[in-house]
Amino acid sequence: MSAPFTTAQVTFVGNGVNKTFPFSFPIYNLDDIEVFLTDITTGEDTQELTNFTVTPTDPEKFPTTGSVNFPDSGTAIDSNTKLTVRRVTPYSQEFLDLGRNTLINAGVLEDALDRVVGQIQQNQTLNVQSLKIGITESEQTAEEFFEAQVVSVIAGAVIDNLLSTSPTNALSANQGFILKGLIDAINDHAVINDLFSTSAVDGLSANQGRILKNLIDSFVHPVKSIQAENETGTNDTKFVSPLGIRQAFFAVGGPPVFAVRAWINFDGSGLSPTIREKGNFEPIIDNGEGNYTLTFTVGMPDANYIVIPLITSLGILGIMNITSQGSGSFTINTYSLLPGAHTSTQQVDQNIIGLAVIR
């Protein structure tokens, strides 16, 4: 029979169920089959397997096609694993021995020629999978050539394209997939979606690569704000150091900085208190003439805070005392201190009452 061209191997992706893998290329002996596994995630191949069974399509007639059952026992391979079935016809001829003036059986001769063609076809498959060097580089070793190709991919195809502004100079997505591991913390889907592709022909354009490089630079090498920017507080693209926080409050030197946890400015002279501005205070409760309860929006950790007052009414100095103090609220009395007087026992509503709480 004729021997049409055929690839001498076939590859399958597991599904966790299938254990039978058919092959359509002819074999001349059950021992002509080799089976390999490949981890799709890492790309690593296993050594040649032995726990499989070859079933010929026609066990009474060789050459024949057939199928491989793997594994003979155990769980079927999952979607993270590829299985490759390959024909390896021996590079020897031991079944045909023609002597002088010997009658030649046409079938035996045909089988011998088919085996030779099978060897040529499997060599063609191996040739496609092999590493090649240029015609003028025949003296270059395989190790030298491989190293040069790796350097070319890393230094040229990836890095140079990231600096390019050409939208047609493509960075292949499988190279982008490698870069993706460096930028997981950057959540810019408009740029990095293509990096999830494993297709070598699904291109990430180089201008997108340039944007990606800028994002990586800003993430790996952030810029610190200077003192003038900390003091004005107008820059929102640089990070602020602990020293910069002190500079923003103009709190230079060694002593620690303690923050105002609540503040308020209100008019207590009307029928009900009127708040001008506030921070971390709820509406005021008016308990009567010169008596107010102030409640924190977010309570203090305890009642050990201080209250700094500013109280005045029509230019007359006012004084204040705290009658009760808790972590969630406190109550105050306000008085007017008339010129020449040392004390005042009359509670009076004041029109300017300012309070700051420090803890």
Which H helix or E strand runs over 31?
none
Biggest alpha carbon distance in the chain? 148
Q: Tell which wins on pLDDT, 322 or 143.
A: 322
Lowest mean pLDDT among 113-127, 139-153, 245-259: 139-153
113 has pLDDT over 80: no
The mean pLDDT of the chain is 77
Q: Which amino acid is at 25?
A: F
CA distance 139 to 145: 10
Could you tell me whether strands 64-69 and 53-56 are parallel, antiparallel, or unpaired per DSSP bridges?
Answer: antiparallel
Q: Encode pLDDT of 237-274 as tens digits.
A: 787 888 888 888 777 777 888 889 999 999 988 888 99
91 has pLDDT over 50: yes
Cross-strand pairs, 274? 267
Q: What is the mean pLDDT of residues 28-45?
A: 87
Percent pLDDT > 90 in the chain is 28
| pLDDT band at residue 22 under the 50/70/90 scheme | very high
Percent pLDDT > 70 in the chain is 66
Count of Cβ atoms closer than 10 Å to residue 325 Cβ: 15
Contact by Cβ (8 Å): 204, 157 = no
- Cα four-point dihedral sign 181, 186, 187, 191: negative
177 has pLDDT over 60: no
Q: What is the mean pLDDT of residues 334-343?
A: 63
| Segments making up each domain of the chain, as ranges | 9-129, 142-220, 260-358
CATH number of 260-358: 2.60.40
279 has pLDDT over 90: yes
Q: What is the mean pLDDT of residues 82-91?
A: 87
10 has pLDDT over 50: yes
CA distance 5 to 98: 27
How many Å separate Cα 309 from the centre of its chain? 52
Global pTM reads 0.39
